[in-house]
Amino acid sequence: MARSGQARLIVWGGSAVGTPALIKALRSRLLPEEELDVVLVGRTASRLEVVGELCRKLAEVCKGDLRVSYTSDIVGSLEGANYILNQVRVGGLSGRVFDETFPRDLGIPGEETIGPGGFSYASRTIPVILEYCRVAEQKAPHALILNLANPSSYVQYAIRRYTSMAAVGICDMPVRVTRRIAKVLGISHAELDFDYVGMHHAGWVTGVRHLERDVLPQVLGRAEQVEAGVDPSLIRAVGAIPSPYFRHYFHPDRVLAETEGKKCRAEELMDTQAELLAEYARPDAHERPDIGEQRGAAWYDMIVVPVLLSLMRDSRKHFIVNIDNGCTIPWLPSEAIVEVLCMVGASGAHPLHVGAVPADVRAWLQCNCTYEMLAVRAIVERSYDLAMRALLLNPLISSLDVARAVLDRVWPEDCAR
C-alpha cells in the first residue's frame, strides 16, 4: 500500500470525454503534501490520446503532486494500484442509444439504468467488467473498486458475487436530492441529517433533521418544490421523498409521452462528444477554464473525488454510497447491494443508522432487490429462464409477453433458452 498522502488511482474507461472533469476536481482539492498517480486506461487509442494528453496537462497545475498517464495495457497499469475507478461504458453511446430507444417500441419508457434498457446495458457490461476484475484479482487484489459504471448496482453485485474484489458504488443522485431538499428548506446542506435507504437510482429520503429537530413534515408540505418528478400527492401520502427515477415507475405514460418524437439523451451526447473531442485536441485546451463543461460531468466534483479523498485521508466523512448490505437492512438479503449513509475512511465505507421505512417502500425495495440479483445471475450464468423470472419482477414489465419481447431484443443468441 502507498504511504499516507500517496496513492495510485486506475481509471477504467479513462478515455471518456468527461474524464477531464475528474482531473480538474482533483487538482482543486489535492493538498500540497499529497501525491496521486492517475492512470487512464482506455481501449480506443485515438480518443485515449486526446483525452489523456489534455488530462496530463491539466494535472500540471495542482497544489499537490498530481500525475496523469494513460495506457491501453490493463494488466501493466494495475501494478501498485490502491483504487480503481470503474467508468467503463460497454457499447459506447451507440449502445446507450439502443437501450434508451428500443423500450419505446414496447410502450415502455427508455432509460439506460432501469427497466428494459437497464437490463440490456447490464447484459453487455457485466461480462466485460468481470474480465477486468479477474485481472485485478491477480495484479491488485487489495485495490478498492469505486464503481461509477451503470447500471451501477447490477455491476457492483456482479463484482461482489463473482470476484473477490472489494467495491463501493458512487452516484451523484443522492447528493442532488438532498441538496434540493436543503434548498427547499432554506437551510445549509451541511446542517441537515438525512435518513436514506434504497439502491442505485431507487433510493428514498425517509427522514430529515435540523439540529436534531424533525423537519420532514416541512419538506412534505413543500413536495411540489422538491422536483422529484413524482406527483407531490404521492410523496405526501408515502411520507418519503423518492429518487427522480421513480417517475418512470409511477408515471410511465407521462414519461413516454414526453419523449415521443424526441432525440434520446444518448443521441444528444453523441453530438456533444464529437464537439468536445475537437476542443480537447486544441493545443491551448488545458488553458481554457471552461474546457469540458459542456459534458456536465458534475458527479466527479459532487461525489467521486470527495469519496476518494476521504478514503485516502481517512477523513471518516459521511456519504450516501452503495455497499454490501450485511446486517444493515435486516429485511433485505445480506449479499444485496444497498444505498445508505456511510462513514468513509481508510478502511472503506461503513453503514450508519437506517431509520424507519414505510411498509410499501420496504416491499418495493425487496422486489427490486430480488429483480436485480436474479438479473445478474441470469446474465453471468447465461440463463434465459432466470432472465425471464427477473424481468417479471421489474415494475415496467407488465406481462410475460412483454418480458419475452424484451429478451427477443437483447438476449444473446448463443445463450441458453
Q: What percent of the chain has pLDDT over 70?
A: 98
Structure confidence at residue 2 as a pLDDT band (50, 70, 90) = very low
pLDDT at 1 over 50: no
Backbone torsion region of residue 186, taken as left when φ is above 0, otherwise alpha when ψ lies between -120 and 50, otherwise beta: left
pLDDT at 414 over 80: no
Please give the pLDDT value at position 6.
Answer: 87
pLDDT at 293 over 90: no
Q: Which of 4-18, 208-222, 233-247 has the lowest mean pLDDT?
A: 4-18
Structure confidence at residue 63 as a pLDDT band (50, 70, 90) = confident
pLDDT at 329 over 90: yes
- Per the prediction, the chain carries an average pLDDT of 95
Please, which residues bridge with residue 36 across strands? 7, 66
Mean pLDDT of 72-96: 97
End-to-end CA distance of the chain: 46
What is the tens place of the pLDDT at every residue in 333-343? 999 999 999 99
Please give the pLDDT value at position 5.
Answer: 66
Element spanning 359, H or E: helix 359-381
pTM reported for the whole predicted model:
0.96
What is the tens place of the pLDDT at every residue in 110-169? 999 999 999 999 999 999 999 999 999 999 999 999 999 999 999 999 999 999 999 999
Is residue 193 helix, strand or coil? strand
Structure confidence at residue 49 as a pLDDT band (50, 70, 90) = very high
Please give the pLDDT value at position 3.
Answer: 45
DSSP state, residue 350: E
Enumerate domains of the chain plus CATH numbers.
Answer: 6-170 (3.40.50.720)
Cα angle, residue 125 at apex, residues 376 and 302 outer, rounded to 5°: 100
pLDDT at 372 over 60: yes
